[in-house]
Structure 1
Amino acid sequence: MPKAMSFAMPATLRTILAGLTALAALALSTGPAPGQEILQPNPAFSPKKVVSIQLKALQRNDTPDPDAGIRQTWAFAHPDNRQVTGPYPRFQRMIKMPSYEVLLGHSDHVIEKVAQTDGVARFAVTVTAPSGQVYGYRWEVRKIAEGEHAGAWATTAVSPAMDAGDST
């Protein structure tokens, strides 16, 4: 059996390799790359920003992995909404039903504020499905009253899809 070769490594090279090894270990232990982690409700997000985060996530649902967009949308489901639509596996199935599946992979969306008070905001959302068909939704967000995300906006209701015509 041949002997393993060994050589003296300069101290500088050992230091650089040790640093690179530590950085690689840190990168692997911190989870997804920046921009890919699930955002959480935050009082700094406006009501429209919350709706936008959800729609953009659903638009690219399977990036960076299958149903990542649905998980992001669930993160912004108001606690009251979760009581009706949850737990998550049930919510996931609901989003894949005909009334909501056009949100997955849609090509475009427009968010228009309809009304807003200190604690409730309502939006008219128009979505263009991959087929070119246009659908409308009523989207409602409310401030979370208590708990970890108190003061942040989260979705309390989304109407089923309403056929709004063809974009072509």
Structure 2
Amino acid sequence: MESMSGSGSDPAAAFDILHIAVYNDHRRTLEPRVSCLAVISAQLEALQRNDWPEEGAGVATAFAFTLPASATEAGALDSTGAVAVSRWSGERSFVPRPAFEELVRAPPFSVLLGCDSWKVASPVVFPSSRHSDRAVQAVHVQAAGTGRTHTFTFCLVRAGPGSHKDCWMTSRVLMGDYGNV
């Protein structure tokens, strides 16, 4: 499986998504043709260089590629009217950007920030034969400084009605490899 790091080995699609997200004030620019791997790549590449081109830009990009709560759902908006996104921790709840940033900066997700490298650990797997709107893919992340490898599985869903209809977005990130089961 190909290694992904900041050395230019990332897929062209992931670079395009990252470029658009970073340079367009982190606006969501996902399209239905963007693959699961491109979504994961955009998030991991951004988190790897979290403070480029400005402080917290990586977390902002990860937030932009995470499944948003429906505006009609209770708790979907925080007190400032900001959109909330799926909580990566596996709980079925949504959090606004400040809480999302706290989650990403705390273990186990903190190893994603400034990681030395990451690589794909499994193919994209569609766990249900009846539904093709959910997918999982595992990645190995080498932590900065320690060199320790951590495995995460990104769970993606194809967004329903709204501005991101049919776009792949991250709904959860789990510790461990659930892509090779």
TM-score normalised by length of structure 2: 0.65
Q: Does 1:105 align with 2:114?
A: yes
* Residue in structure 2 matched with residue 87 of structure 1 by the alignment: 96
List 4+ stretches of structure 1 deviating above 6 A.
none
Bigger shift: residues 113-122 or 149-158: 113-122
Name the one with the larger helix percent: 1
User: How many pairs were matched up?
Assistant: 130
Q: Deviations over 1:86-133 (max 9, x none)?
A: 111000001000211000001111123251262111011100011211
1:59–1:106 Cα contact (<8 Å) kept: yes
Q: Aligned match of 2:105 in 96, 99, 102? A: 96
2:138–2:152 Cα contact (<8 Å) kept: yes
Question: Based on CA coordinates, which of the two structures has the bigger radius of gyration?
Answer: 1
Q: Aligned match of 1:126 in 136, 140, 145? A: 140
> How does 1:44-63 map onto structure 2 within 5 Å?
44-63=33-52
Query: Alpha carbon RMSD of aligned pairs, Å?
Result: 2.1
Unaligned runs of 5+ in 1: 1-32, 163-168
Q: Does 1:115 align with 2:125?
A: yes
Please give the alpha-carbon distance, in whole angstroms, between the structure 1 residues aligned to 2:106 and 2:100. Answer: 10
Shift of 1:59: 0.5
Shift of 1:36: 2.7
1:100–1:161 Cα contact (<8 Å) kept: no
Q: Aligned match of 1:36 in 23, 44, 51? A: 23
Change (3 A) 1:127 1:51: same
Please give the alpha-carbon distance, in whole angstroms, between the structure 1 residues aligned to 2:27 and 2:173. Answer: 20
TM-score normalised by length of structure 1: 0.70
